[in-house]
Structure 1
Amino acid sequence: MTDSQDHRETTGNTVGLSRRRGFDRRHVLKTTAGSAAGLSLAGCLETAGSIVGSDDVEPVTVGVLAPNPDSDSIGRSIVQGSRIAVDELGKINGRDVEMVVGDTNSSPQEARRQYQRLVLEEGADVTVGISTSEALVPLMDDIAEQETLHLTAGSATTTASQMVNEEYEKYKYHFRVGPVNGSNLAQAQIEFLTEKGGDIGWDSIAVLAEDYDWTEGLWAFYQSRFSDLDIDVTMWERYPPATDDFSSIYDDVEASGADAAFISTAHTGTKAILDWGPTEREFAFGGIHVPMQLPSYYRLTDGACRFAVGYASATSTSELTPKTQPFVDTYQQTYGGQSPVYTGFIAYDAIKLFADAAGRAGTVDSETLVGTLEDISFTGTTGTIAFHEPDHQFAHDVIYGEENVHPVYFQWRETDDGEGVQEVIWPDQHASAEYVDPDWF
């Protein structure tokens, strides 16, 4: 096992390795219920617990699941945002807080293995993270089996929330702190186009999306709703996952007369940018572009993303709540000037939210906290966090809206000293700059 896969981070005076709950009362009782041996063992453990392992001395353990945190910006931001939250908390309900990291290695199989390790071996009281839908959906059965709260900080799939809605008692331990789900992502795009499209000259668009699972809901929503917009859709294309040359696609976009390519991309986003800006294509470019959310993306692409428009839960230039900029400042001071990716904001919020719920309930017990979280309203860095009710089609997903969590649109611009900056252009109340056309138009 690599250092990153078995990485332990602690704060306060924790008991440390001596309290590892590979031999955990909750899980032992669960697997031995109904047998005489199980009853006997439970009694022994409760007796021993009153002497050396009672809840009033055990640390609260936060398990953090992140892809390749040593090399991947999204995974690293999950870990670093979590680290700041844990350091700021120090204690939850008078108990020290420790943080244990599982490197999912961007693999659904490894995500499940690391989740089991964090809960069964490390005794995690809550898990936070998972940035992709491909990893989250297979993990839902593990979360249900372990009956331990999981707070998602990255995946946008609606499948998880639909599972909670359809089989509530089984899947109720899952909550999505962010980003907003795929359906709400699509709604945000429509609102942006409706409120801002005409102002920035996007009267016609070519709708593009990579053919991955995470775009299925987006694509269906776009096709059902774009006809209602006062914007002409000149072409639709859901392109193959292996696409590494956008030349012919962009030829079609130009031939269609679209003012902008409106894209939904994660895995193929950088190639899409490199085939747009440097070749000075005669249309604007924007939409959901996951790599463009990286604060370092301008430097990483040598400015190829200049004038491109992207979407994010928050940026280092945004001030969505009184907590946004203080978190950015702390993050930059702690990590040598680095700025958080969207997953860093959300992971930070998730742990602070968990602590707030535990304080209200007086316990970190998952069964109890499900009800507490269902009723909670909490101001985070990305907005006011509250969750849809169990009978909602998107049960336990963070609520999208101006009074809750509302993402921003930004445009990559170049500063006077040649650096890139994500200037917020929408919503207007959070805007830090006006949109400008590419200078080759």
Structure 2
Amino acid sequence: MDDAYDGHETGTDTDRRHGLDRRRVLKTTAGGAAGLSLAGCLGTAGSIVGGNDVEPVTIGVLAPNPDSDSTGRSIVRGAQIAVRELREADGINGRDVEMVVGDTNSSSLEARRQYQRLILEEGADVTVGISTSEALVELMDDIAEQQTLHLTAGAATTTASQKVNEEYETYKYHFRVGPINGSNLAQAQIDFLSEKGADIGWNSVAVLAEDYDWTKGLWAFYQSHFDDLDIDVTMWDRYPPATDDFSSIYDDVEASGADAAFISTAHTGTAALQDWGPAEREFAFGGIHVPMQLPSYYRLTDGACRFAVGYASATETSKLTSETQPFVKSYKDTYNGRSPVYTGFIAYDAVKLFARAANETKTTDSEKLVGKLEDMSFTGTTGKIAFHGPDHQYAHDVIYGEEYVHPVYFQWQENDDGGGSQEVIWPDQHAPDDAKYLDPNWF
């Protein structure tokens, strides 16, 4: 894995917000949750920006296992870079900016505990993060209760945005900065197959998806839209959670005659990959594969992902906007050459988006910022960020489209030095002129 989360700046103070002491280190929380060793403060509370002795703006960051999980680590690091840039500029509304981190431990219960701690003990003005749909769904009522903005960076479930649409006044404090939601992810998959499938020889596919909450909307979308494609679906399989042996599934894929296994996987992705490439299965492989987004995945799998096709909000070589490559450079310069995964791009955008909204409205009050975020657009690292309005089915979700946030599809290919690189192959406007899909060499 990449190197662990490697440090933070801390400060001390005894000021109070919301009537509670502010902690600069994490402590044991109610219910017996252990305090985190990575603590999570960037900035010194009570420090002076512009010569004014005022409370800093506090960014609360929720991330799973930042010391060991790549998506969680990238959330923290992406947010850290944004906070550092804000502190080096004018802060937010002339106030310094600090960051506090809560480790959700990939648990819905712990996510709720850490969220409450960030709001009630650390006095967070906004929270950013949450990379799993299950945790976000459980957190929605807490966000509603605290009436504090939460900007999701990682979870794709449509449940959150549907709650905003159905009970706006209760759930309006939630916005998804990225990735695009499960239904939009499905649309991106459909668009990729429609525009690129014939070019790469994927005229028939076996549609596979792990049976987790985040694929519910995606799966329903597939089933209602695949009939519109000039691509045959040879089999459907929403396979059980925690599947770790795909041999029988892949036997069925081969028997169906599919040109490719078109998969949607996060939790079971590496097992699905290892049973494909090293076994030299007689079909191509690709789709939404969260582990494959990891820049070091080629090395981590000893090249097993070669020829596999994946989706990402952005990659280290993509140039989606004028902001993409500067962020990648800053990330690599800061973290010993390591590259961000998709959550890092989104967390960075979320913090910068919040800062822009707060600076333009001259407030960090969540009630006032809701309307501002609904009306604004923002050039982030993953595209132009704007949100669906309250009346939309997916209220407060980032808009998917060519002029907005649009994911890229890449293929893992071997490079000249024997390593691997994520070569963007779609959409054409984001692919290099010499981009070329390669058939697996065992075909």
Structures share fold, TM-score greater than 0.5: yes
419, 434, 437: which is aligned to 2:436? Answer: 434
Tell me which amino acid in the other structure corresponds to 1:318: S
Tell me which amino acid in the other structure corresponds to 1:218: L
Deviation at 1:205, TM superposition (A): 0.3
Partner of 2:371: 371
32, 54, 57: which is aligned to 1:57? Answer: 54
Tell me which amino acid in the other structure corresponds to 1:438: P
Instruction: Indicate the structure with greater helix content.
Output: 1
Partner of 1:103: 103
8 Å CA contact retained: 1:8, 1:100:
no
Tell me which amino acid in the other structure corresponds to 2:66: P
Partner of 2:325: 325
Tell me which amino acid in the other structure corresponds to 2:269: G
Tell me which amino acid in the other structure corresponds to 2:17: R
Partner of 1:398: 398
Deviation at 1:22, TM superposition (A): 6.1
Tell me which amino acid in the other structure corresponds to 1:389: G
Mapped to 2, the partners of 1:274 and 1:360 lie a distance apart of 49
Q: Does 1:315 align with 2:311?
A: no
8 Å CA contact retained: 2:242, 2:267:
no
Secondary structure of residue in 2 paired with 1:92: coil
8 Å CA contact retained: 1:313, 1:407:
yes
Tell me which amino acid in the other structure corresponds to 1:197: G
8 Å CA contact retained: 1:9, 1:100:
no
8 Å CA contact retained: 1:67, 1:103:
yes
Deviation at 1:207, TM superposition (A): 0.4
Write out aligned runs for 1:7-156 (5 A): 9=9, 16-21=12-17, 23-24=19-20, 57-90=54-87, 91-156=91-156
Secondary structure of residue in 2 paired with 1:17: coil
Mapped to 2, the partners of 1:235 and 1:280 lie a distance apart of 20
Q: Alpha-carbon deviations, 1:228-270, whole Å to 9, x = none?
A: 1000000111111131111111111111110000000011100
Tell me which amino acid in the other structure corresponds to 2:56: P
Identity %: 81
CA distance 1:144–1:380, shift in 2 (3 Å):
same
Mapped to 1, the partners of 2:331 and 2:422 lie a distance apart of 17
Q: Alpha-carbon deviations, 1:36-71, whole Å to 9, x = none?
A: xxxxxxxxxxxxxxxxxxx97000000000000000
Partner of 1:195: 195
Q: Whose radius of gyration is greater, 1 or 2?
A: 1
Mapped to 1, the partners of 2:341 and 2:167 lie a distance apart of 33
Partner of 2:42: none
Secondary structure of residue in 2 paired with 1:18: coil
Aligned length: 404
Tell me which amino acid in the other structure corresponds to 2:175: F
Tell me which amino acid in the other structure corresponds to 1:134: E
Residue segments in structure 2 that go unaligned for 5+ positions in a row: 22-51
Mapped to 2, the partners of 1:162 and 1:8 lie a distance apart of 36
Deviation at 1:24, TM superposition (A): 4.7
Mapped to 2, the partners of 1:158 and 1:148 lie a distance apart of 20
Q: Alpha-carbon deviations, 1:18-44, whole Å to 9, x = none?
A: 12536259xxxxxxxxxxxxxxxxxxx
Mapped to 1, the partners of 2:166 and 2:412 lie a distance apart of 41
Mapped to 2, the partners of 1:377 and 1:367 lie a distance apart of 18
Mapped to 1, the partners of 2:150 and 2:8 lie a distance apart of 19
Tell me which amino acid in the other structure corresponds to 2:295: P
8 Å CA contact retained: 1:424, 1:431:
yes
Secondary structure of residue in 2 paired with 1:95: coil
Write out aligned runs for 1:234-245 (5 A): 234-245=234-245
Mapped to 1, the partners of 2:122 and 2:226 lie a distance apart of 48
Q: Alpha-carbon deviations, 1:331-388, whole Å to 9, x = none?
A: 0010001000000000000000000000110011101100100001100000000000
Deviation at 1:220, TM superposition (A): 0.8
How high is the TM-score relative to the length of structure 1? Answer: 0.90
Mapped to 2, the partners of 1:392 and 1:219 lie a distance apart of 20
Residue segments in structure 1 that go unaligned for 5+ positions in a row: 26-54
Secondary structure of residue in 2 paired with 1:180: coil
Q: Alpha-carbon deviations, 1:269-320, whole Å to 9, x = none?
A: 0000000000111100000001001111111100000000000000001000
Mapped to 2, the partners of 1:242 and 1:422 lie a distance apart of 27
Partner of 1:415: 415
Deviation at 1:8, TM superposition (A): 6.6
8 Å CA contact retained: 1:9, 1:101:
no
Mapped to 2, the partners of 1:281 and 1:99 lie a distance apart of 47
8 Å CA contact retained: 1:292, 1:310:
yes
